[in-house]
């Protein structure tokens, strides 16, 4: 992992004890949610692709701690943790992974396409780089309408090699869009290391030719992430100044649940999980400062276990989307000569051999 600067400010000046405890709870919730999602995938409750946030909890919780309700978030397809940390209950998120009507996208999106209108969580997108211009567009709209807030364009390190990223940097700077390019740099785009894919491995520098400021942060340090986002967020909102945040973290597992991770040395992965586990680090920090004790940590673990189990139960007990609703969300403005619920039912019957 790349080196980042340390900060020397006393802990309780940086956050209240309640805030610190809440960050810990959120990180553990994401950890347990993802571990159980991995299990549910193996049990075939979850289909398609399933990318977990394991190891990236501090990056996510730190980011969300710095945002306000006015802000908007666009992410890539590794986004379960983001929508939960933004405030959506785990139940509807797990239900979406299960493809249920009660899921956050009505079962139409799945793991890679979570969305929540109420919290301005503007979607997970699964074409690398696709969400980046969209986020700039949302920031453009905020500026056009004179509204407060900023937009987060979350992406992985591999996204910094695609053209859409560069067009987005140019347009964001040119049009003074309040957007933060938030790179979760876990060192690998699938199986390709940052060094193998990027002629400039210091990803925070990649805005230089667009005059977009960039900064690297330890993505395993929840407070460091929160503070850099807060600072650059304020400037983006006040001055329409976009920025790159290069949050360095360690991916605990393969690219997705089905990736056996053969391209990384198993010993280095084992060591990485020990060295760069943001939750273990944070627990040690809280214990060392006598902010929590072992009993409190155990209580949080039990609470999280229960909440994730409730999410799984909710998903299991939720109804599937109805066949007659197959075409329900085709258009926002209905037009003639489009397929109907009856067409859907007829096609599904034939598909099921009922003729």
Partner 1 sequence: MPVITYRQALNDTLGEELARDPNVLLMGEEIGVFQGSYRVTEGLLAEFGPKRVVDTPIAEEGFVGVAIGAAMLGLRPVVEIMTINFILVAIDQIVNHASKIHYMFGGQVSVPLVIRTPSGGTGQLAATHSQSFENWFAYCPGLKVVAPATPYDAKGLLRAAIRDDDPVIFIESLALYDTKGEVPEDDDYVVPIGIAEVKRQGTDVTVVSYSRMTAVALQVAQRMEQEGISVEVVDLRSLRPLDRPTIIESVKKTNRAVVIAEDWYSYGVTAEIAATIQEEAFDYLDAPVQRVAGLEVPLPYAKELSAASKPNANSLIYAIRQVLRGTKRLR
Q: Which positions touch partner 1 (CB under 8 A)?
A: 72, 74, 103-109, 113, 115-117, 122-123, 125, 127, 130, 132-142, 144-145, 163-164, 167-168, 170-171, 174-175, 328-333, 335-338
> Is the CB of 38 or the CB of 130 nearer to partner 1?
130
Report the candidate in 63, 53, 64 with the shortest Cα–Cα distance to residue 31: 53
Buried b (16+ CB within 10 A) or exposed e, 148-161: ebbbbbbbbbbbbb
Closest contact distance (angstroms) between CB of 199 and partner 1 is 21
- Residue 127 and residue 344 in contact, taking contact as beta carbons nearer than 8 Å: no
What contacts 138, CB < 8 A, 6 or more positions away? 72, 74, 122, 151, 179
- Token pair listed for 103: 């899921």
Closest contact distance (angstroms) between CB of 82 and partner 1 is 15
> Is the CB of 53 or the CB of 105 nearer to partner 1?
105
> Is the CB of 54 or the CB of 152 nearer to partner 1?
152
The end-to-end CA distance of the chain, in Å, is 60
Closest contact distance (angstroms) between CB of 176 and partner 1 is 12
Closest contact distance (angstroms) between CB of 238 and partner 1 is 20
Closest contact distance (angstroms) between CB of 96 and partner 1 is 9
Cα separation values, 267 from 3, 191, 272, 313, 327, Å: 20, 16, 8, 36, 49
Closest contact distance (angstroms) between CB of 70 and partner 1 is 12
User: Distance (Å, rounded) from C-alpha 59 to C-alpha 220?
Assistant: 6
> Is the CB of 127 or the CB of 196 nearer to partner 1?
127
> Is the CB of 124 or the CB of 214 nearer to partner 1?
124
**Residues 288/293/297/303 CA torsion (nearest 10 deg):** -150
> Is the CB of 25 or the CB of 175 nearer to partner 1?
175
User: Distance (Å, rounded) from C-alpha 323 to C-alpha 4?
Assistant: 52
User: Distance (Å, rounded) from C-alpha 288 to C-alpha 226?
Assistant: 21
> Is the CB of 20 or the CB of 183 nearer to partner 1?
183
Closest contact distance (angstroms) between CB of 143 and partner 1 is 10
């Amino acid at each position: 992992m790349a080196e980042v600067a340390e900060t020397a400010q006393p802990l309780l000046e940086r956050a209240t004890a309640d805030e610190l405890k809440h960050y810990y709870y959120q990180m553990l919730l994401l950890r347990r949610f993802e571990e159980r999602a991995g299990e549910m995938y193996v049990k075939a409750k979850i289909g398609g692709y399933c990318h977990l946030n394991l190891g990236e909890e501090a990056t996510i919780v730190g980011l969300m701690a710095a945002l306000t309700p006015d802000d908007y978030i666009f992410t890539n397809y590794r986004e379960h943790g983001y929508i939960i940390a933004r405030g959506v209950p785990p139940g509807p998120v797990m239900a979406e992974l299960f493809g249920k009507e009660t899921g956050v996208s009505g079962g139409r999106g799945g793991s890679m396409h979570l969305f929540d209108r109420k919290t301005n969580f503007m979607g997970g997108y699964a074409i690398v780089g696709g969400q980046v211009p969209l986020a700039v567009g949302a920031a453009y709209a905020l500026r056009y309408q004179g509204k407060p807030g900023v937009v987060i364009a979350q992406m992985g390190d591999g996204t910094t090699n695609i053209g859409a990223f560069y067009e987005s940097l140019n347009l964001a700077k040119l049009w003074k869009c309040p957007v933060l390019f938030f790179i979760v740099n876990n060192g690998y785009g699938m199986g390709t290391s940052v060094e193998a894919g990027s002629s400039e491995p210091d990803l925070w520098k990649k805005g230089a030719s667009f005059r977009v400021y960039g900064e690297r942060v330890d993505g395993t340090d929840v407070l460091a992430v929160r503070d850099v986002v807060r600072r650059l967020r304020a400037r983006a909102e006040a001055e329409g100044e976009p920025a790159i945040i290069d949050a360095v973290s360690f991916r605990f597992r393969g690219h997705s649940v089905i990736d056996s991770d053969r391209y990384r040395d198993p010993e280095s992965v084992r060591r990485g999980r020990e060295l760069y586990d943001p939750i273990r680090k944070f627990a040690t920090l809280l214990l060392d400062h006598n902010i929590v004790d072992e009993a409190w940590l155990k209580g949080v673990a039990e609470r999280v276990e229960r909440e994730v189990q409730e999410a799984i139960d909710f998903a299991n007990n939720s109804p599937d989307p109805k066949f007659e609703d197959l075409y329900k969300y085709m258009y926002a403005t209905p037009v003639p000569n489009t397929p109907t619920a009856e067409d859907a039912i007829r096609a599904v019957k034939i598909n099921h051999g009922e003729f």
